[in-house]
Structure 1
C-alpha cells in the first residue's frame, strides 16, 4: 500500500471521526478506527468486534522493549478467551525504526511476535493516529501515551476502559484484574 493511499485512509478516518462527533451520532467505539497492518494491509479494528483489545504503543529501542515477550505470552494465554493484543509501533519518542519492514523483522526474529502489529504511527500530539485522539477524548490527557509501551485497554463492547503506563507490565495484577473484567462473557 502506497503512502498516498495511507494518507487518504488516515484523512477519511479523521473526517468520519469529526462528522460523528459533531453530528451527535452514536458514540464511537474503538471498533470504528482503522489502522494499516505492518505488512501494509487494511487493519480495521471492527475485525475484532466483540473482543477486548489491549493496544500497546511499542518501540524497538526502549528500556521497556523486553515487554514484547510478556505481551506475546498474554496474547497466547488470552486470545481464546476473547482478547486481541494490538501492537502499534511508534517513533513518537524517537526509539523506533523508520521502516516498517525493519520493525517487523525485529519483532519476528527477536521476540517471535504473532499478535497483530500496525504500521508505525504517531501516538501523541496533533499528528496522533485518530484512535489515540479518541483515547485522549475518552480518558483525558493522562490517557495519552507518555512513553513507549503504554497500554490502552478496550472492553468487548469497544469502550475505553483505562490506560496503563509503561512500567505496568502485562503480568501486573492490576492489569490482569482489569483485563479479566474487559473480556467478553463468552468469546
Structure 2
C-alpha cells in the first residue's frame, strides 16, 4: 500500500524532496498560486513554520497554475512569495492538482480523504507524524484555524 512517504517532488531550486525525510514530522501542504486572493495566507503559514518548525512542523507549498493564477516561471514564483509573503518553507515546481495529468501526490491525498476534485488554490492537507492524512481543509481555511489541529498532532 502506498503511503505519504513514497512520494517525491522537485523543489523550485531543482533539488529533489524525498518525503521519507519527513518521517516523524507533522506536515501541512497546500497547492498555492501567487496571484490568488488567498495568497496572503502564506504570511500566516510562514509564521507557523517559523514558530513550530523546531517542534516538528513542516510546511510545503506546491504551486499550481491549474486555476490560472500562478506566475510563469518557478523563479518568478519563488521571488514573489519570498518578497511579498516572506516564504522560507520549501516550494516545489508547478504541479497540476486535477485531471489525468494530476500530480500523483494530490491524487493520493484526495483518495486518502475520500474527497473529490481540488476546487481552488490553497486547498490544504495535514499529515501526522506517521504519514497518515489527518484532514483536508478548504481554500478559505486560514492558518490560525488549522493551528489547533497542528498543535494536537505535534503533541502526539
Q: State the TM-score bracket (shorter-chain normalisation).
A: over 0.9
What's 1:158 paired with? 131
Relative to its length, the structure with more helix (as a share) is 1
Looking at CA atoms only, which structure, 1 or 2, has the larger radius of gyration? 1
Following superposition, the deviation at residue 98 of structure 1 comes to 2.4
CA RMSD of aligned residues (A): 1.3
Q: Select 1:86's aligned residue among 46, 57, 60.
A: 60
Aligned twin of 1:120: 94
Off by >3 Å, runs of 4+ in structure 1: none
Greater relative contact order: 1 or 2 (C-alpha under 8 angstroms, separation 6 or more)?
A: 2
Is residue 30 of structure 2 the alignment partner of residue 52 of structure 1?
Answer: no
- Corresponding residue for residue 73 of structure 2: 99
Query: Structure 2-normalised TM-score?
Result: 0.94
The answer for the alignment partner of 2:35 in structure 1 is 61
- Structure 2 residues not aligned, in runs of 5+: none
Aligned residues: 156
Match of 2:122 among 136, 140, 149: 149
For 1:133 and 1:169, the matched residues in 2 are separated by 23
Question: 2:149 aligned with 1:178, yes or no?
Answer: yes
TM-score (structure 1 length as normaliser): 0.79
